[in-house]
A and B are shown apart, each in its own frame.
Chain A
Amino acid sequence: MASSHLSIAIGRIRKDSLAKAGLCVVCLFVLVALLDVVPVPAHDAGGVRWGRTALDVLFQKDVEKSYSPPLARTGILNRLEFPLKSRHLLGTNNLGEDVLYNALKGVRTAFIIGIVPSVIAAVFAILFGLLAGFYGGWIDDVIQYVYQVLSSIPAILLLIAMLMVMERGLWQLCVALGVTSWVGLCRLIRGETLKVKQMEYIEAARALGASDSRLLFRHILPNVMHLVIIEITLDFSGLVMSEAVLTFIGLGAEPGTGSWGRMIMTADRELPNGIWWNLTGASVFLFLLVLAFNLFADALRDALDPRLRAG
């Protein structure tokens, strides 16, 4: 991509205040996620212990006995009030955990779910798409048959089927999500590979003695990467939201990982009893991340659209 495209795109985004706001919010979330990745050692009588991250150090609060509303001084357990050990900005859930802390712990999970499956899918899609488009023949037929079969199964069912035979876990979830979603991108890459294959500079490179793998990786792959980048950004929001939904129906990550879906899961028991802060905390975080990303990603895609260029 020429640098002029990028500079025009950046210029356009600079003027779009919504996109800028979106980018800022996404950066804040990224910061939180990074804080949750940095391990912090704890020194005590038994030596050095690992297990906490920077986020834990900053935001983890005392665990109370049970529910308490945001910024309250007392909580409620079995209809009796009990005093709280500390102030909780967003209250506590039924286990007495700080809601804000739980919500912040969900950020890292959200980013993992938002990106890793796309990357996994991209690996499959690039591999099979390039091979199918470049070699054609029976390789193309086999690969097309495989993705015909896979795409005939509705994604949600495919996901359910896969998750039922795998162990519960965040990374298993990523793999399942990735494996069930590579077909669309693969089709695009195969099509683009076919197009690029016809171009003269491939013939020229071949005449100069370039090997197949050199052609594939140095010449064709860079030309399909833009499809991959667009797809990864397009899928992020959907994946983050699907984590919440999948956890809700029981297919999500193992308990213990931060998850907005798990926080929302308890909502139906809580809401009729007037306990709104757990659900709202998770929902607001989820909404803000998805909205911010959508605004920024939309602006980015529009800015890179060559048709909107003047002159």
Chain B
Amino acid sequence: MEEVVRLEDLRTYFFTDEGVARAVDGVSLSVAKGRTLGLVGESGCGKSITALSILRLVPEPQGRIVDGRITLAGREIRTLSEIEMRGIRGKLASMIFQEPMTSLNPVFTIGSQIMEAVRIHTGMGRREAGEVAIEYLEKVGIPAPRQRMSQYPHELSGGMKQRVMIAMALCLRPALLIADEPTTALDVTIQAGILKLMKDMQKETGAAVLLITHDLGIIAEMTDEVAVMYAGKIVEYGPCESIFASFCHPYTEGLFKSLPGRTARGQKLYTIAGTVPSALMFPPGCRFHTRCLLAIGRCTFDEPPLVAVADGHRAACWVRAGEG
């Protein structure tokens, strides 16, 4: 399978008045053509920053990619100039965000916003770009696309806005689509439609998808592989079925146990004790040890590496995965 994106030991830090926040602290992952990788974890674990790092959209001057390699379709992202980077954003890799309400510019028509993406990267004239925009509006299931072109974002519902975002992201058929919590802000009834759309579009364009979410249900439905992130690091990584069938890392276990479906009726819902540590001050050793029921002495000072626990399935835990 042709690899579309590869991250090797990516580190993105934020330099603030209160110290250095190590938001992404040694993340390695890869996604192949036509495959979907799910990046799952609680808020604050660094998933979004990982995604922004791929497109070099980390907010400056406080944020900076300090180490690691990012390879996109064979190109080294960190060494590119800003102009070259702009040529990649939207064309080679594109991103959709969580808040469709505010992610579209309220004072421009949706047609002109899609056309902008098209015209920046190709040389097309207005008419041609308009046709491309209408074509993709149709593909994402927007009824009467030609009329919608001259509508403004506030005239569309949340679900429709997200469809427009998807059309805008895919109209140049990028090799990689990054979706950062695409359905979190939408009604549950709309979510299914958006997810199905994403699956269909992926099948059509053959893009690789990096899907960021905290929802295990979406992971189960949409992804081929899963990376579980905690406190800036990947703690478990493997095929979706393998992780669902036999999760390994105590944090992953905690996530699964917290699902309401897993708790018997009448019983208190399970929660992982404690809270996510601040990126300014991670605990030493295994970052999860302060909340882990299985923690042993070694966990408090030695950071466990990712080791294989099954075919293609790796976890970082002294107790469950050992030394490898």
Contact = CB atoms under 8 A, between A and B. Distances in A.
Interface of A: 8, 11-12, 15, 310-311
Interface SS of B by simple majority: loop
B18 interface: yes
A12 B17 contact: yes
B278 to A, nearest CB: 5
Contacts of B14: 310
User: Which has the most chain B C-beta neighbours within 10 Å: A8, A11, A311?
Assistant: A311
Contact of B278 (A11, A12, A15, A311): A311
Contacts of B16: 310-311
B54 to A, nearest CB: 23
B117 interface: no
A311 B280 contact: yes
Interface in B37-68: 62
A196 B14 CA distance: 35
A89 to B, nearest CB: 42
Contacts of B62: 310
Most buried by B among A8, A15, A310: A310
A8 B14 CA distance: 18
Contacts of B279: 311
B76 to A, nearest CB: 30
B175 interface: no
Contacts of A11: 17
Main secondary structure of the interface of A (DSSP, over half): helix
Interface in B1-21: 14, 16-18, 21
Contacts of B21: 310-311
Which are the 6 A-B pairs with shortest beta-carbon distances?
A310-B16, A310-B18, A311-B278, A311-B280, A12-B17, A311-B21
A15 B17 CA distance: 9
A12 B18 CA distance: 9
Nearest to A310: B16
Interface string B241-279: 000000000000000000000000000000000000011
B18 A311 contact: yes
Contacts of A15: 17
A15 B16 CA distance: 13
17 contacts: A8-B18, A11-B17, A12-B17, A15-B17, A310-B14, A310-B16, A310-B17, A310-B18, A310-B21, A310-B62, A310-B280, A311-B16, A311-B18, A311-B21, A311-B278, A311-B279, A311-B280
Contacts of A311: 16, 18, 21, 278-280
Interface in B59-88: 62
Nearest to B280: A311
A11 B18 CA distance: 9
Contacts of A8: 18
A11 B19 CA distance: 13
Contacts of B17: 11-12, 15, 310
A119 to B, nearest CB: 33
A303 B188 CA distance: 40
A311 B14 CA distance: 9
Contacts of A12: 17
Given A11-B17, A311-B21, 13 more contacts: A8-B18, A12-B17, A15-B17, A310-B14, A310-B16, A310-B17, A310-B18, A310-B21, A310-B62, A310-B280, A311-B18, A311-B278, A311-B280
A8 B21 CA distance: 16
A20 B18 CA distance: 19
A220 B14 CA distance: 38
A311 B17 CA distance: 10
A12 B16 CA distance: 11
Nearest to A308: B17
Nearest to A311: B278
B70 to A, nearest CB: 24
Interface string B277-300: 011100000000000000000000
Contacts of B280: 310-311
A184 to B, nearest CB: 27
A8 B17 CA distance: 10
Nearest to B281: A311
Nearest to B278: A311
B272 to A, nearest CB: 20
B64 to A, nearest CB: 14
Contacts of B278: 311
B99 to A, nearest CB: 17
B212 to A, nearest CB: 20
Nearest to B18: A310
B45 to A, nearest CB: 14
A309 to B, nearest CB: 8
B122 to A, nearest CB: 38
A305 to B, nearest CB: 13
Most A Cβ at <10 Å: residue of B16, B17, B21, B278: B17
A61 B278 CA distance: 62
A151 B16 CA distance: 43
A167 B280 CA distance: 61
A15 B21 CA distance: 19
Nearest to A15: B17
A67 B77 CA distance: 73
Nearest to A12: B17
